[in-house]
Amino acid sequence: MRGVTVIKPRETCNLKQYKGTGSIGNAIRAAISQRSGNAKAAPNLAHKYSLHPLWEQNLVVVGTKEECVLQNLLSLEQLRLTDRAINVQAYLKATDNMGKGVIRLANTFTTDYILEKTTSPDNPIIGARRLGSTNVVTLTFEHSYIPRLVFFLNEATLVQKYRKTNAVSATCGKPRHRTDVCPAPVPETERCALCGKTRLDASQPHEYHPSCVLCGGSLAAGSRDCPRRYRQPASAKPPGQQAGQTRDRRRTPSRDDKGQEENNAAGNDTRARSTSRSRTGKRAASRSRSRSGGLSQPSSTTSRARRQQLRLRPSSRHVLR
């Protein structure tokens, strides 16, 4: 089974500073070899997985077709980089052939325990992940179909469809990554998650005007009322885009276009007249053949010779005299 694993740091670490050094690739390869129990197997892993760092989101995506490599990646808890060791979290990313749903359970249960004790008769569960420290747990199903119910400790639990949200960090106030993977360290002056401004004293209340980073409205960042909270599907287009494309196609014709249209019209008129004349000639020839019994008309030379023969032939009146 082909799987995609997402690896993100669980502590403050800017992965972009290791760009081009090969440190992340070496750390993941060493961790896979250590998990497999064979340190000499590292050279044989060259074509068994592909690594794609997403620097703006401060995480790493790894794709593989090997089941053993996938399981080793999902069990990663730490990566040893060139200058430090960081704690990481690895989870299975749902592909197009998989489904993703959401259930709500107390945050006292670990994801491993939830994955072990949750069953789905209609569609097997192959992954579970808790969103931060909330009671929201995402379940990854083997097939794209999302069942209505799953059973946690034999208790029926309602499954809701998972909707991707646009990430915003409350630490740096920037989009495209979440607070738990923010590469910026915690500032000395704590930043307000509602207005994005820093506070000299976090314990003291301050006057603020909510301003959403995503939509620019007077809302708290990531609010449920934000129109850009959820990501748009790749196939969906913003309203008015198709109408704009239609307007672009219906542009005003230029002078060159008008001249070309006139030339085309003149050419079509000439061809139409020539076609009409040829058809008229054919109809006249057809009528003449029908009158002569289907025989073709003699040529002009033959008609002249025939008239001369008639002049030279003696008349019947002269013969009677």
pLDDT digits (tens, 9 = 90+) for 288-306: 555 555 444 455 556 677 7
Residues 161 and 188: their CA atoms lie apart, in Å, by 39
Q: Which strands make up the sheet holding 118-119, listed edge to edge?
A: 118-119, 149-152, 155-158
pLDDT tens digits, 157-183:
999 988 877 777 766 666 666 666 676
pLDDT tens digits, 28-46:
998 888 877 665 555 566 6
Residues 160 and 113: their CA atoms lie apart, in Å, by 20
- Percent of the chain residues topping a pLDDT of 90: 23
pLDDT tens digits, 50-61:
999 999 888 999
Residues 69 and 141: their CA atoms lie apart, in Å, by 19
**Long-range residue pairs from 181-190, CB within 8 A, at least 24 positions apart, any chain:** 181/8, 181/9, 181/57, 181/58, 181/59, 182/12, 182/58, 183/12, 183/13, 183/14, 183/15, 183/16, 183/58, 184/12, 184/14, 185/12, 186/12
Is the pLDDT reported for residue 239 higher than 50?
no
Domain boundaries, the chain: 3-161, 165-230
Question: What is the 3 state secondary structure string of 169-233?
Answer: CCCCCCECCCHHHCCCCCCCCCECCCCCCECCCCCCCCCCCCCCCCCCCCCCCCCCCCCCCECCC
94-120 average pLDDT score:
90
Looking at residue 283, what is its pLDDT?
Answer: 58
Instruction: Return the bridge partners of 91, or none.
Output: 6
